[in-house]
Amino acid sequence: MRKSLIIFSAILFLIACKGKDKETTSVAAAGTEKALTTIEWYDSAKNLGKISQGQKLQIAFRFKNSGKNPLIIQAVNPSCGCTVANFPKEPIAPGKEGEITGEFDSQGRQGLQHKELTVIANTEGNSEHKLTFEVDIQAPHATTNPQ
């Protein structure tokens, strides 16, 4: 009888623990899903034309939180050290707009340049968004000294 009671208790314990694991996992997953939102980019790719070598260029990419939860931009990573990016640090409310800004320094660069900013945010499907721009950098003209 005592052996049956121990086996019965062990089975109940295992069943109870198994149920709690499922509940904890589903609650955690549900919490993560609720925090996700969607983003709509107004301009995720830009051609900025021609600039002179050494010129610094301001750039901006506009977006809208098109989801139902606050949009949190966690980071913006430029593809090279020639670009510095700024982004909203506060959550963007559903339906509100925001902007990723940056500055591109063309010093020491020449010709057609393709640059990318990787935005990491709490968005459904994919948390990474690629913003691209291209610019054609014109080398300074050599001055000739007529004689």
Residues 83 and 11 in one domain: no
23-55, pLDDT tens digit by residue? 333 333 334 456 999 999 999 999 999 999 999
> Which pLDDT value is given to residue 48?
94
pTM value is 0.72
Structure-block tokens of residue 59: 């750039």
Asked if residue 87 lies in contact with residue 73, where contact means CB atoms within 8 angstroms, the answer is: yes
Residues 25 and 48 in one domain: no
Residues 51 and 66 in one domain: yes
Q: Which residue has the tokens 């709509």?
A: 40
Average pLDDT, the chain: 82
Task: Give the total number of structural domains in the chain.
Answer: 2
**Domain with 134 in it:** 39-138
